[in-house]
Structure 1
Amino acid sequence: MEEDLKFLQSMGILHESFKTILKWKKIFTQITLTLFLPISIILIAIMEISKRFFDQLERDPFELFTGAQEAYRSYYNARATSIDWIYYLLFKIISITFIILFCHLFTAAVSYTVASIYTNSDVSYRKAMKVVVKVWKRLILTLLSMFLVLFAYNLIAAVFFFFWYVICFNSVTSVLVLFAIFIPYVLGFLYLSIIWQLACVVSVLENSHGLKSLIKSMDLMKGKRRVALTISFLSYTIFVGTVSMYMSLVLYGAGGLVFPWKQVIGILCVVLLLITFLLFTVTQSILYLVCKSHHREAIDKLSLSTYLGAFFGESQPVFKIGEDIQLGRTPSQV
């Protein structure tokens, strides 16, 4: 399997991820229900709270596409006090941070499980949960480092969009210039999201965290960027589509659906979110193994198994304290 990993493309990685999930569906179901089901419920609760308590600041986004000029103007002319904006921003920051943190814990549990399966190690739901407890500090450091990178990226993008608004907003070529800025921005965001996900896997499976894990994931991505971007694009398309379907049909009642059908569609959206994010997270772990194989970093199962066992005191790590584990090295080479 290891030799074949480096030849896997997008569809191959997705196929391998499906096989892994189906073969070990019990433990993946337990992890998903424990760590990601609460995220889905919180996400829906956030949308409901925003609709009920911050309707002046966050109006129905689908009104913009109905052609009703009065509704369109009301979207931009909604009056709100400064204190409303403060409460709204605090609510958004806290809720989004909470969701991202839980997503990282979910990634840690899934990454450990996939690595244990690959090394034929003893894997269980209880062990996966223990790993989450042991690595959460490292994941937070990686999260904070990525926040700084995203802040810098969006700040630079904001400057470009500002100049577009000032210089080109009313010109004939404004739309073309907007697309020329927006498309690279989206591709860059997808690329950073993949680096972020891979960095989380690196933080769990290697002795790296923070900026070091981000740099490591960037190095691993070389030669596999197109594959990673394809997987990221497919995953985010399904995610955005699912959230948009819930917002339009359930939250804002587009289509005039009656109460029972709203509940059915809402449940289907939650299930689809669970399946999509589980598949996306497993693909990141498989992508990590593919990237390691692509760079001829032989993934020594003994070293990886020993590293995973060190989480529970079952074995001693084969790497020196403070060194980044290279899974291609055997204990005698360290």
Structure 2
Amino acid sequence: MDRTEDDMKFIGFFGIFNKSFKTIFSWKKIFTQITLAFILPLAIVFLSHMAISNRVFWRIQNNSLPYDTNDSREATTAEWLYYLLFTIAYFILLTVFSILATAAGVFTVASVYTGRDVDFRSVLKIIPKVWKRLFVTFVFIYIALIIYDAIVSIVMAIFRAVLGFSSFSLIVMIIILIVFAFCLLYLSVVCQLASVVTVLENIHGRKALKKGKDLANGKKIDGMGIAFVLYAILVGLIIVYFLFVEYGHEVFKWALIWRVLIGILCGIVLLMLFLVMIVSQTMLYLVCKSYHREAIDKLSLSTFLGAYMGETVVYPKPGEEIQLGRPQPSAPDQQV
């Protein structure tokens, strides 16, 4: 990375994407290893969940259809139990591989930023030292998302009960959904920054979320723009998967071979997308830190990363721990 710390704060939406792709392609070997070891299982779990849910638990998914058919769609108690166990297993696997991929990706990008030598063996060494902290942060992220979903559901139910079914109520619902989508993008940025903070600083859980919120201020639009693009690609990918793979034989009468090929292509794109998500959120973290003039000089960051590797670390005086969070002295902004 050839930019100075002061230059990093001037990087915006396109610059973060540019540096993310540049980092990935400049270090193809290590990122390929991370992708195959951690992101590939994550993508398999993600796609398997969609396929199994659609094929095995269709009665539960269609249980709320507002019409009757000759074919009973009521799910049995056993099916609900299997669906619950399947969902729990899915979230456990999703969390495990998300933690592994996040820890590996964030550590690698930070190592590249500091100019440290990094290989897959060193990546494996840091995972046992950060996974517990990342797990706690992920739990708080899930709680935040659950609370957010509950608020959205309650607000939508209240407006539906008050306004009923009319053209005006439809317009109001669309406006509410747009507002909540905007809030969800902001929440996703905060959660992504919190994940990076957990790996690169000595805080986790609720404090990491608060730190992520503080960092997002000032670069909120850039972060939300990045999240919007990446999640839009993800939603588009899901639509393509269901349209051409799951229902390709019904909609387009395609042969199995074409559906398999498109499914493989979707899987490859999903791998690349997950990798870009991890790298770009780490880049966003570095940009936000520079924007807020918080010290992330390469020597301090390299020392912090070296502690993960068991290297001898000379810690600063009490109150000056290497947390990459000490504000720098203010200085006049540089001219671009």
TM-score (norm 1): 0.89
How far is 1:98 from its partner? 1.8
The 8 Å contact of residues 197 and 204 in structure 2, kept in 1 or not, is answered as yes
Q: Select the residue among 153, 176, 191 that pairs with 2:186.
A: 191
Residue 206 of structure 1 pairs with residue 201 of structure 2: yes
Q: Which amino acid aligns with 2:313?
A: Q
Which aligned pairs between 1:1-334 and structure 2 lie closer than 5 A?
A: 1=3, 2-59=5-62, 78-253=73-248, 254-316=251-313, 318=315, 325-327=322-324
How far is 1:320 from its partner? 6.6
* C-alpha distance in structure 2 between counterparts of 1:322 and 1:213, whole Å: 19
Write out per-residue CA displacement over residues 300-327 of structure 1, whole angstroms, 9 at most, x where no aligned residue: 1111101100012112263578987442
Q: Which runs of 5+ in 2 are unaligned?
A: 328-336
* C-alpha distance in structure 2 between counterparts of 1:317 and 1:154, whole Å: 45
* C-alpha distance in structure 1 between counterparts of 2:188 and 2:120, whole Å: 27
* C-alpha distance in structure 1 between counterparts of 2:142 and 2:210, whole Å: 14
Write out per-residue CA displacement over residues 169-216 of structure 1, whole angstroms, 9 at most, x where no aligned residue: 313311111112111111111211111111111000000100111111
The 8 Å contact of residues 245 and 262 in structure 2, kept in 1 or not, is answered as yes
Return 218-227 or 318-327, whichever deviates more: 318-327
Alpha carbons of structure 1 residues 313 and 91: separation in structure 2 relative to 1, 3 Å: same
* C-alpha distance in structure 2 between counterparts of 1:224 and 1:234, whole Å: 16
- The alignment's C-alpha RMSD in Å is 2.4
* C-alpha distance in structure 2 between counterparts of 1:285 and 1:259, whole Å: 39
* C-alpha distance in structure 2 between counterparts of 1:221 and 1:262, whole Å: 41
The 8 Å contact of residues 207 and 322 in structure 1, kept in 2 or not, is answered as no
* C-alpha distance in structure 2 between counterparts of 1:49 and 1:201, whole Å: 32
Q: Which amino acid aligns with 1:286?
A: M
* C-alpha distance in structure 2 between counterparts of 1:143 and 1:226, whole Å: 24
Return 178-187 or 16-25, whichever deviates more: 178-187
* C-alpha distance in structure 2 between counterparts of 1:237 and 1:324, whole Å: 40
The 8 Å contact of residues 206 and 324 in structure 1, kept in 2 or not, is answered as no
* C-alpha distance in structure 1 between counterparts of 2:157 and 2:318, whole Å: 47
Q: Which amino acid aligns with 1:110?
A: G
Q: Which residue of 1 aligns with 2:332?
A: none
Paired positions, count: 321
Return 216-225 or 319-328, whichever deviates more: 319-328
Q: Which amino acid aligns with 2:324?
A: L
What SS does structure 1 have at the residue aligned with 2:60?
Answer: coil
How far is 1:133 from its partner? 1.9
* C-alpha distance in structure 1 between counterparts of 2:72 and 2:177, whole Å: 26
The 8 Å contact of residues 200 and 323 in structure 2, kept in 1 or not, is answered as no
The 8 Å contact of residues 106 and 196 in structure 2, kept in 1 or not, is answered as yes
Q: Which amino acid aligns with 1:154?
A: D
What SS does structure 2 have at the residue aligned with 1:223?
Answer: coil
Q: Which residue of 1 aligns with 2:333?
A: none
Q: Which runs of 5+ in 1 are unaligned?
A: 65-69
The 8 Å contact of residues 105 and 132 in structure 1, kept in 2 or not, is answered as yes
Q: Which residue of 2 aligns with 1:67?
A: none
Return 312-321 or 288-297, whichever deviates more: 312-321
Write out per-residue CA displacement over residues 119-165 of structure 1, whole angstroms, 9 at most, x where no aligned residue: 11121111112212210000011011112222222222111011122
Q: Which amino acid aligns with 2:199?
A: V
* C-alpha distance in structure 2 between counterparts of 1:248 and 1:112, whole Å: 37
The 8 Å contact of residues 208 and 324 in structure 1, kept in 2 or not, is answered as no
Alpha carbons of structure 1 residues 170 and 329: separation in structure 2 relative to 1, 3 Å: closer
What SS does structure 2 have at the residue aligned with 1:208?
Answer: coil
The 8 Å contact of residues 142 and 209 in structure 1, kept in 2 or not, is answered as yes
TM-score (norm 2): 0.89
* C-alpha distance in structure 2 between counterparts of 1:114 and 1:34, whole Å: 17
* C-alpha distance in structure 2 between counterparts of 1:120 and 1:207, whole Å: 21
What SS does structure 2 have at the residue aligned with 1:256?
Answer: coil
- Equivalent pairs: percent with the same residue? 46
The 8 Å contact of residues 113 and 128 in structure 1, kept in 2 or not, is answered as yes
Moved over 4 A (4+): 319-324
